[in-house]
Amino acid sequence: MRKGMPDDNGPEIEKYTLKAEKHDTKDLPEIEDKYKQAFLNVGYDPKGAERSGSFLQVDHSVLCSKVVQEGVEIMSTTDAIEKYSWLSDYWWHAVAPEKDVYTQQVDRKQTHGYFLRTLPGVRTTYPLQSCLFTEQDGLSQNVHNIVIAEEGSELHIITGCSVAEKVKSALHLGVSEFYVKKNAKITFTMIHNWAPEVEVRPRSGTIIEENGVFISNYVCLDQVKDLQMYPVTYCGKNARATSQSIIYASKDSKIDIGSKMVLQGENSRAEIISRTVAQDDADVTARGILTGSAANVKGHLECIGLMLSDTARIYSVPELEATVKDAELSHEAAVGRISEEEIAYLTARGLSEEEAAGAIVRGFLNVDIEGLPAALGEQVRQMIRMSAESLE
């Protein structure tokens, strides 16, 4: 196995069923009411307030694909490929279907997924929101998502994945392909909220054309059985890419997450930032690869971990690869515990040691997330606060 590539002794697809009970769109109000909090927790507002459109998939049923702003398209990818023959040019173009057993499974047994697109020059006023939700215990959800920002457009997306409280085990396979066309911009914020027995395999690829910008944020603060993802971003000429991950791993969560940025266009720039907290028996691998293969590219990788227990593990793997002489790549990786000096400082201001630790963890995870509406930014901070408060 090549260094940096995830070793996947992952979930067994056969353990999960593909037979999902069909949900009817007429049940939408009831479902929205029942799971309102679960949806809100991953950034999906059933009311659609301050959103330019919404997509909701529960199990294998697409219950909502609503467009609010003109020039924006939202639909199931299954419908999109029927509607647009040209979409085959994008289908499995940024991710290879034969990559692994999970992509193969999505290729063979796809169960919808979202197609989001902004037409040339269109800028979303508010973000689009999507939620992929599993309600049925033991189900495998195999989504294939395609996101396209056409030339000169700007597309902001908030997407959440979660499961109903009653779901004991589930498998989520998600292939996502992003296409940032010339002079376009995508900000993509993904919030995951899983359960102790859920296994997750997202597989993402992004292609950024000339002068394009791709900002990807990932937040996962709750327990998960086994999650592994390794999105790859290909940067064209003058492209900019940023990836930020905020991970709070607790109990016996196993998380292997990383980003790869391929700086293949001249003058392209990339930044990978990850903040990981490992508590209890959690096992986290935080990866990052920057590859510079074109003139005058620049990349920086920052991978910082905070250990809160003697039975957790953080394995940090930053990698840099340059194949041209004027590539400028750097990284900063650190794993440590909460500084005693910082705790002491906060206790001198009247906090208990536990409160001080909570405040420091919260601060550690509190990186600025670009592209979030104020209310959602506040909500993410609130989620971080709640995770950190579990220490108190």
Partner 1 sequence: MLEIKELDLEVDGRPVLKDLNLTIEEGESHVLLGPNGSGKTSLLLGILGFPKYQVTGGNIIFKGKDITGLSTAERVKLGMGIAFQHPPVIRGIRLGEMVNLCRGDKTQQISEQTRILAKKLHFSDEFLERDVNAGFSGGEIKRSEIMQLMAQDPDFVMLDEPDSGVDIENMELIGNMIGELLHRKIQPSKRTASGLIITHLATITDYIEVDWAHVMLDGMIACSGSPDRIISEVMKGGYEKCVRECQTTMDRK
Interacting residues toward partner 1 by CB under 8 A: 339-342, 344-353, 359-360, 362-367, 381, 385
Minimum Å gap between C-beta 231 and partner 1 is: 25
CB nearer to partner 1: give 261 or 365.
365
Looking at the Cβ atoms of 227 and 367, the one nearer to partner 1 is 367
Shortest distance in whole angstroms from residue 367 CB to partner 1: 7
Closest approach of partner 1 to the CB of residue 85, in Å = 49
Q: How large is the C-alpha radius of gyration of the chain?
A: 20
Which residue's CB is nearer to partner 1, number 109 or number 345?
A: 345
Q: Which is nearer to partner 1, 29 or 363 (CB)?
A: 363
Residue 24 or 378 with smaller CB distance to partner 1:
378
* Rounded least distance, CB 322 to partner 1, Å: 30
Is the Cβ–Cβ distance between 290 and 321 less than 8 Å? yes
Nearer to partner 1, 296 or 347 (CB): 347
Q: Which region, left, alpha or beta, applies to residue 137 given φ > 0 means left and ψ of -120 to 50 means alpha?
A: beta
Least Cβ distance, residue 348 to partner 1 (angstroms) = 5
Helix axes 353-365, 340-347, angle to 10 degrees: 120
**Nearer to partner 1 by C-beta: 208 or 376?**
376
